[in-house]
Amino acid sequence: MERSKVTPVGPELSFLRAPDGTLQLQLVGDWKLKRGLPTETAVEAHLKSVGALRRLTVDASGLGSWDSGLLAFLTGIQGLCQARGVAFDPGDLPEGARRLLQLATAVPERQGARRMEARPDFLTIVGKETIGLWRESGEMLAFIGEAVQSFGKLAVGRARFRHTDLLDIIYECGAAALPIITLISFLVGLILAFVGAIQLQQFGAQIYVADLVGIAMAREMGALMSAIIMSGRTGAAFAAQLGTMQVNEEIDALMTFGLSSMEFLVLPRMISLILMMPLLCIYSDLMGILGGALVGVGMLGLSVTEYVNETINGVHLIDFAVGISKSAVFGILVAISGCMRGIQCGRSASAVGLAATSAVVTSIVLIIVMDGVFAVLTNALGI
């Protein structure tokens, strides 16, 4: 009999060749992953070197302790034997290892399961993304159309929803959002005043910090920051609520009862944000101006009277009107994004998280795009 041995790394693996075309694998030592196990590459190389074989058997008389690493090794060896037409005999493996090996090979591997799909080229990726964007645009237009129909039914008194739900959602979108709006708006106004003060002090024009903060908050930052906060707070909540209802098949139950999910679920949420966003914008403007006043009075040495008078002279009603108009439109966008992603949610728990994330991303993108449209329109109209 011929005998050869692989240099052991941790556990020992040796080969014993019999004249009848049988190759015996002799396993010695502890076969555990932490010891570093031989790979089936050494066995494959030996199979190629010895020529024709009829059977491969395992001698585990010298085997010590073992773990899943032994099973992974034997599974690979069994696959090699099947590929080369060699019969595999587990020999005197421990009973536990034999049963686990049988269990691992009870269901055959699906053909092509290990095949790696070719990475699509650049044009294919662009094409798929374009088709997806076109499909999502169509779905959004269809959703907006259904929302407009629901508002039409509301105008003629035919929309069906619970008024108690509307009041609860108004509270969640309004009063419950005041703490975070207060904090963020106050800090934004403070930061604007601090940045402006550093530059204006060089020219002795620190009094104009009041104009800078007032106009920026009234026309831009108040509406924008309120909308971004509400997209992350309320838009994501809308998507999670409706997505969870979709997973629990509650929306299907509403349809079974003859109730429109657009009227019963989406319409109250849209009404709430449309009503509350202008009020939150005004509150955000005031908090931002208050934050600027803290810097003007505490850092620049201005009196409260000077700061208030300069703010009144620098900020006009048209500035507040522009910001309030933006906030109403932003509220519609946040409500549409959150409700649409919730309605489109899949039927799994992970889909709810994806819907909430997608709602925030969609609403913020739409808010920034619409803010740019407002900037172009106000410039063209000279407002």
Cα 7 from Cα 24, distance rounded (Å): 17
pLDDT tens track, the chain, 383 positions: 444 444 444 577 787 777 777 777 778 887 777 767 777 777 777 777 766 677 888 887 777 787 877 778 888 877 777 777 778 877 778 888 778 777 777 666 666 555 666 677 888 888 888 998 888 888 888 888 888 888 888 888 888 888 888 899 999 888 899 999 999 999 999 999 998 888 888 888 888 899 999 999 999 999 999 999 999 989 999 999 998 988 888 888 888 888 888 888 888 999 999 999 999 999 999 999 999 999 888 888 888 999 899 999 988 999 999 999 999 999 999 999 999 998 888 888 888 888 999 999 999 999 999 999 999 999 898 88
The number of C-alpha atoms within 13 Å of 122 and in the hemisphere containing its C-beta is: 0
Map out the domains of the chain with their CATH numbers: 2-104 (3.30.750.24), 135-381 (no CATH)
Instruction: Please provide residue 355's backbone torsions phi and psi, each rounded to the nearest 5 degrees.
Output: -65, -40
Provide DSSP, 176-195.
GGHHHHHHHHHHHHHHHHHH
* pLDDT value of residue 89: 79
* pLDDT value of residue 8: 42
Q: What is the CA radius of gyration of the chain?
A: 35
Cα 272 from Cα 280, distance rounded (Å): 12
* pLDDT value of residue 334: 93
* pLDDT value of residue 11: 75
Instruction: Please provide residue 344's backbone torsions phi and psi, each rounded to the nearest 5 degrees.
Output: -80, 0
Provide DSSP, 5-56.
EPPPSSSEEEEEE-TTSEEEEEEEEEE-GGG----HHHHHHHHHHH---SEE
The interaxial angle of helices 95-104 and 68-84, nearest 10 deg, is 60
Q: What is the pTM of this model?
A: 0.68
